[in-house]
A and B are shown apart, each in its own frame.
Chain A
Amino acid sequence: GAVVSQHPSWVICKSGTSVKIECRSLDFQATTMFWYRQFPKQSLMLMATSNEGSKATYEQGVEKDKFLINHASLTLSTLTVTSAHPEDSSFYICSASLSGTGRETQYFGPGTRLLVL
């Protein structure tokens, strides 16, 4: 149980284009989803917290207009990297937490590797 998927698993795009990444909880409802970014050989950095039906809460230093997050349902959150540039190339990972009891544990998706040329 508690499976989270991401799509696509990898994407290559040209500089200036926008890329949408989907995060789905497959067998549970996730009131809250989180988006992280991980550069090579580094730790995960939390970008934003996404709550179903409300605006995402962004961490300090993360541009909300560049990284658009939509959490339209209890099983789907999307991250759109707008006008992507080479410095946005990274590994983007989402996670989801259960509602109520057990919400402290996050279940992670397999990640999306983005390469901006």
Chain B
Amino acid sequence: SQQGEEDPQALSIQEGENATMNCSYKTSINNLQWYRQNSGRGLVHLILIRSNEREKHSGRLRVTLDTSKKSSSLLITASRAADTASYFCATDAGDGNNRLAFGKGNQVVVIP
């Protein structure tokens, strides 16, 4: 299965700043999703963007998708200490099974 791949960066930012992370993938997709994982816990779904969408917003989250470059970005505005977590992108190839291929993840630390 294909693999979403984030830029291998660990972000450390001050509370109130914006955090941006990127994801690239290799094959065609039906949709791309972003998930958050707090340390040692399960994943929480953040946002889903379909292949025919270019940008999507949800609260303080902004996701872009560039299918020509096979990349996506997640922006968290006005970060809070509670945003400290690992963020994963996951791609759905659209083969009807809804299987997700997860990227490596970005560790984000928001300093109060």
Residues of A within 8 A of B (CB): 4, 6, 32, 34, 36, 42-46, 49, 57, 59, 91, 93, 95, 97, 103-111, 113
B43 at interface, CB cutoff 8 A? yes
Residues from chain A with Cβ under 8 Å of B60 in the complex: none
Residue numbers in A under 8 Å from B100 (CB-CB): 34, 46, 106
Determine whether the beta carbon of B104 is less than 8 Å from that of A43.
Answer: yes
B1 within 8 A of A: yes
A110-B98 Cα distance, complex, nearest whole Å: 20
Query: How many angstroms from the CA of A46 to the CA of B43 in the assembled complex?
Result: 14
A105 touches B33 (CB 8 A): yes
CB neighbours of A93 from chain B (8 A): 42-43
Beta-carbon contact of A44 and B102 below 8 Å: yes
Give 18 pairs: A residue, B residue, CB < 8 Å, sorted on A: A34-B99, A34-B100, A43-B105, A44-B43, A44-B88, A45-B102, A46-B101, A104-B30, A104-B48, A104-B92, A106-B98, A106-B100, A107-B45, A108-B42, A108-B45, A109-B42, A110-B42, A111-B42
- The total of chain B residues at the interface (CB under 8 A) is 23
Q: By the criterion CB–CB under 8 Å, are B43 and A105 in contact?
A: no
CA distance A103 to B100 in the complex (A): 12
Residues in A whose Cβ lies below 8 Å from that of B41 = 110-111
Write the nearest CB–CB distance from B94 to chain A, whole angstroms.
9
Q: How far is the CB of A65 from chain B (nearest CB, A)?
A: 21
Contacts of B92 in A (CB 8 A): 104
Q: Are B98 and A108 within 8 A (Cβ)?
A: no
CB distance from A55 to the nearest CB of B (A): 14
Assembly CA distance A108 to B40 (angstroms): 13
CA separation between A4 and B43, bound complex, in Å?
A: 11
**Are A105 and B1 in contact, with the CB atoms below 8 A?**
no
